[in-house]
Amino acid sequence: MMKQWMKWFALAALAACAAGASAQGYPSKQVRIIVPQAPGGASDALSRIIAAKLGEKWGQQVIVENRAGAGGNIGTLEAAKAPADGHTLLLGYIGTHAINPSLYHNLSWDPIRDFVPVATLAAVPFVVVVNPSLAASTTQELIASARTANGKLTYSSAGNGSVNHLLGEMFDSAAGVKMTHVPYKGAGPALADLIGGQVQVSFTSMPSVIGHIKSGKLRAIAVTSRARSETMPEVPTLAESGLPGFDVNPWFGLLAPAATPAAIVSQINREINDLLATPDLRARFAGQGAVPLATSPAEFAALLKQDIEKWAKVVKDSGAKID
């Protein structure tokens, strides 16, 4: 028995040495972060901030590649098929990794099987915004406008089954109203038509609209998170505005192809968490309305599993489905 135990110990030690060696010299070339959405949203903004910081830290170029399409599935599949050496990372969030598995019948990738969670970056509250032409400045006024409009009040989203869309469904259900959903091919055109007045309401990430709110092009009604945003503390939450229990505060994080060595995953996680603690990065995230969120790979994996189950129910209740 002692000999067998010593054999297992020796094998474990060899495996640990091999894992450690696999991270030596990483990164050895350019690193790319695939963002499976078009430019202009929270994923794009956060990825560019972290890419610049990692590039400085590593002495290697870290580039952001937008691969939008099919609700994020095109870029996500590309990342899943990339070499598992840590030089291709995916900027994932609740939309791609927790919602799409329930939304799409024939998904060509699996959020658990095909990826390893590396590091969360931030939690980003979404905000209910309206075109200033709409006579609503509070949640209760928006609800009253929706009731008066009798289904004719419209809200835009980045597409069927997107977080924007499902938040609209959740709002309608909680408020007992019915607004008309208008899906777009991406957050950019959805916001363009909101600003232009073609639609009246949107439920969107704070980084994508904070500039428009400050300039007066859009009016913020409420944030979807349980607590108010430190960036815009004057904006109340939906929960305190008459919709108790409303709490949606999506995470954004980096994932890698499933076979990426554990040592590389640990190295990236450690270095990102170090960056998240720096005043400069925290300030840059705060400017986007994002709150730094540091986790271990295991904690990230648990969070992902929890949200896959949570959003499966939301998708089912909404009736949204894409073949």
Please answer whether residues 154 and 184 qualify as being in contact, where contact means their C-beta atoms are separated by less than 8 angstroms.
no
Query: What does the pLDDT look like over 112-157, one tens digit per residue?
Result: 999 999 999 999 889 999 999 999 999 999 999 999 999 999 999 9
Domain co-membership, 219 together with 145: yes
Each residue's pLDDT tens digit, 158-197: 888 889 999 999 999 999 999 999 999 888 899 999 999 9
Q: Are residues 102 and 48 in the same domain?
A: yes
Q: Do 232 and 281 share a structural domain?
A: no
Provide the domain count of the chain: 2
Given a cut of 50, whether residue 246 has pLDDT beyond it is: yes
Domain-ending residue, one of 207, 241, 275: 241
Query: Could you tell me the residue range of the domain that residue 300 belongs to?
Result: 30-124+250-318
Choose one of 220, 241, 262: the last residue of a domain: 241
Looking at the structure, do residues 152 and 221 belong to the same domain, yes or no?
A: yes
Proportion of the chain in helix, strand, coil states, percent, rounded to 5: 45, 20, 35
* Euclidean distance between CA atoms 304 and 272, whole angstroms: 18
Q: Quick one: CA dihedral 62, 64, 67, 72, positive or negative?
A: positive
SS3 75: helix
- pTM of structure: 0.82
Residue 221 sits in a domain of what CATH number?
3.40.190.10
